[in-house]
Amino acid sequence: MKFFPKISINISVIFGGKCQTVLQSLKKVKYPDNLYEIVIIEGNHLTKQRNIGTKFSKGEIIYLLDNDSRVRSDALQLIAKDFTDKKVAAAGGPSLTPKNEKNHFSQIVGYLLATYFGAYRMRFKWSMQTKNNIISDYHFIGSNLALRKKFVNQINGFDEKFKANDETELLRRLKDKGYKLKYNHKLIVYRSQRSNISLLVKQFKHYGKGRMQHLLKNFKREDFFLLIPIVFEIYLLTIIFYHPLWYFLPLLLYILLALATSLKASIKYRKIKLLWQMTLLFPIVHLAYATGLLNELLDKFNNNRSKEVNYKIKVIKYKSMGNYSNLPGKN
């Protein structure tokens, strides 16, 4: 007998944001009509939107998607299967760059984030990784994440002090409670990466700030590797003042690793230009992330408080359980 839980698909978007991409892909999902709903939460604070979306959702499972997520037709079936184990609190998979991506820069970023050197453990978010027995919060992305509502409520939901990495902070608390996290490489969404350098830097600086906020709240031994980008950024700055020949060895090692990873990708994808394109992008991503980490750490040290903002949230029930009236084109 198959297990078909009620699933609430929650899509958080800024006011006026377009949801056509994700809604078009959801027309193709194969799942009992009376067992899933689509809830759109408009607002200007992602974490608050996710909490409010959870509150207004009727499903046992909350499936978080972004407005540009493109899901597989069997996505809800895969989620249902993952949650047959009653101890599973969360299930998720990768966000892959579309194979037919038209923006060349976005495609390169997708290749970069899928590498060990480019994203280390976080590469699980952007590539199909099948061999890993130890699942951590690093492996999940909020644009493709299913959560058991009961367990989320038990730990008081998302921490609204977070503006980034709120989903990974939540997952760590769930794991600390003894619940299971399940990474499913088949549960795929397709999303384009940032289309230019400016947006890429902004993205990873934002990620860095969120991750440092997470570490300051709940640091684990496994997090020590995140100090490497900070150390590397400080090291590069010190080269200006201290530069004996031997001091350039770490920089040389970094360049060689970047070149080796780029060469491997250029052979894999049969695109020789990746050799220099990815090599140049690696430090941009790593240093943007390190800057975000440092900025958040300094803000915490200086006790800087963010300005008070008037947050507004609007919930739209786009599709109710068993109701297709608002979902044109569904067969």
Domains identified in the chain and CATH numbers: 7-195+309-319 (3.90.550.10), 213-301 (no CATH)
Q: Give pLDDT tens digits for 60-113.
A: 999 999 999 999 999 999 999 999 999 999 999 999 999 889 999 999 999 999
Instruction: State the burial class of residue 251 (Cβ atoms within 10 Å of its Cβ: 0-12, 13-18, 19+).
Output: middle
List alpha helices for the chain, DSSP H. Answer: 20-26, 46-56, 75-82, 104-113, 116-119, 149-154, 166-176, 197-217, 227-238, 249-269, 274-301
Q: Which helix (H) or strand (E) holds 182?
A: strand 180-183
pLDDT, tens digit (0-9, with 9 covering 90-100), for 118-146: 999 899 999 988 876 678 898 999 999 99
Residue 206 and residue 225: Cα distance in Å, rounded? 18
Of 135-144, 191-200, 306-315, the least confident: 306-315
Chain Cα centroid distance, residue 282: 19
Section 269-285 average pLDDT: 96
Q: What is the pLDDT of residue 307?
A: 61
Q: Is 306 exposed, middle or buried (0-12, 13-18, 19+ CB in 10 A)?
A: exposed
Partners of 71 in the beta sheet?
189
Strand 95-96: give its sheet, edge to edge. Answer: 70-71, 189-190, 95-96
pTM score: 0.92
In the predicted structure, residue 202 carries a pLDDT above the cut 90 = yes
Which token pair is 280? 């140049």
Bigger pLDDT: 280 vs 220: 280
How many other C-beta atoms are found inside a 10 Å radius of the C-beta of residue 158?
A: 23
